[in-house]
Every structure is written in C-alpha cells, then in structure tokens.
Amino acid sequence: MKALAAIVIMVLFAPLPLAGQVEVQPYLDRLSSGELEEVREEVSDLVDQYPNDAGVRYLQGLVTEDGTDAVRVFQGLVDRYPESEWADDALYKVYQFYYSIGLYRTAELKMGQLRGDYPDSPFLTSAGAKVTPKADPPAESETTDPVPVVSEGGATGSGEAVSQPGGGQFALQVGAYSSRENADKQKFFFEDQGFPVEVINRVRDGRALFLVLVGNYLTYEDAKAKSADIRRSYGVDSFVVSR
C-alpha cells in the first residue's frame, strides 16, 4: 500500500511537460519510412497531451490529410511559436501551398515573411527565391487551375482576389471549403457581422476549393490585428493573404 501511495504521489506531483519536450525526429524518421497511419494515430494523442508543444503541432500539420487544414495548423504554429525551431519550416510549407494553387502574390507575402523573420533559414536556398513569376506563367496556370477563377462579382481572373474599390492590399482568409454551400455559410456569417466578404474558387489536386476572404486592409499589420480580433470575438482562426 505504501509503495502504491508513493507512486500515486509521484504521478500527481510530477512536473508538467514543457513546450518542445517531445522528441520530433523519431516521428519524422518513421514518416520517411512510410508509417503515416501509425504516426497519425500517435500524433493525435500527442496533441491532446502536449497542446502547447510546437514540435507536436508541426507533426500535426505533416499528418493532416486536407491541405487547407494543414496550412491552418502550420500558420498557427508560426503565429504562436515564432521562435520555435519548426517555425521557418512551417512557414515555408504555407508558402508552398499558396504557390501550388496559383495564389502567387500571397505566396510572395509568405516568402517575404520567411526572408524577414528567418534570414538564415535553409528553406530560402531550397526555395530558390521561387516567388511570384515575373512573366505570365501559362503552364502553371493550366496545371493548377484548369477552370476559371470566379469572384463574387462573377468576373474571372488570374486566381488572386481582385482589389475592391477603395480597398486595401490585404484580406483575411477565414475558410477554405470543398463545397460552395459551406463557403457561402461562412460568407453569410461574416456579412451579417458587417464585413465585406469575397469567395474565390481555386482547383487543387483535381478538386474545387472555395476560399472565403474577409475585409480590406491597407497594411499587413492592420490585417493581423483584425485577425486577432476575429479570433477573440468569433472563435474563428484566420490568416493574412495578399490581394
């Protein structure tokens, strides 16, 4: 009984795990070996046990199946743990996502953040400064966006959200949905709150993706501040995109 009581006391008063305590590399090695499903199950438990561990959040992003959900995880890591050893990697993955769906100006915004905040990141050299093409990229447009991009006004364009009259250069992406119906639900919600809202259509990996963009902001800092307000007021995560 005394031994059992001692064990209970040790468990109850053991120090709580600190952020960054989980060893990430073994999981990365297992992912490289093809153990995706096994690691995904274990990471789900790790997120519950260590919700404030940046490395665990990084693993969560890696094993998240839906690309838009993964980007949300990676962007959250960058915003909450900017000093983490995984932050530049996560930001680079956000950049890759936007580049892959043809949102080149937003990709350039993320690459600019990577250059400014993590000038020594190895991902800067691996990226090869691959940002917004200087000339029209017909081949990339055809492969990443086989259907026209349609804005709420019905006009088609290159894939970036069009600038609104009198609006700013930045907006907040509050959702990315595979169904237009779900995108419209989010759109109507924010319209009811008094926000200007736009839905644009992209195609990624052969499926439609509807991005919900809120607001018009003159500066990146203004948009970031509003993103924090939206999270506090409505419990909705968002991140800055470039118009």
The structure tokens listed for 166 are 């009198």
pLDDT, residue 62, reads 93
Token pair recorded at residue 220: 């990146």
Q: In 3D, which of 102, 93, 84, 108 has the Cα closest to residue 24?
A: 84
Q: 31, exposed or middle or buried, with CB in 10 Å at 0-12, 13-18, 19+? A: middle
* Whole-number Cα distances in Å, 101 to 12, 24, 66: 49, 29, 14
Give ∠ CA 29-90-132 in degrees, rounded to 5. Answer: 125
pLDDT of residue 57: 94
Whether this model's pTM surpasses 0.85: no
* Helix, coil or strand: residue 62: helix
Q: Considering only the C-alpha atoms of the chain, give the largest distance between any 2 of them, rounded to a whole number of Å.
A: 76
Give the C-alpha separation, 54 to 67, whole Å.
Answer: 19
Among all chains, which residue has been given the structure tokens 């561990």? 53
Nearest-angstrom CA–CA distance, 143 and 146 = 6
Q: What is the rounded distance in angstroms from the CA atom of residue 38 to the CA atom of residue 88?
A: 26
Where in the chain do CATH 1.25.40.10 domains reside? 21-127
Residues forming CATH 3.30.70.1070 domain(s) in the chain: 142-242
Q: Please give the CATH superfamily to which domain 21-127 belongs.
A: Tetratricopeptide repeat domain (1.25.40.10)
Q: What is the chain's pLDDT, residue by residue, as a tens digit (243 residues)?
A: 544 444 444 444 444 444 457 899 999 999 888 898 999 999 999 999 999 999 999 999 999 988 888 889 999 999 999 999 999 999 999 998 888 777 888 888 899 999 999 999 998 875 544 443 333 332 222 222 222 233 333 333 333 433 343 456 899 999 888 889 989 999 999 999 999 999 988 876 667 788 999 999 998 889 989 998 998 888 888 888 887
Q: CATH fold of 142-242, please?
A: Alpha-Beta Plaits (3.30.70)
Please tell me the predicted confidence (pLDDT) of residue 46: 94
Contact 121, 92 (CB under 8 A): yes
Q: How far apart are CA 129 and CA 115, in angstroms?
A: 10
**Tokens at residue 59, please?**
């693993």
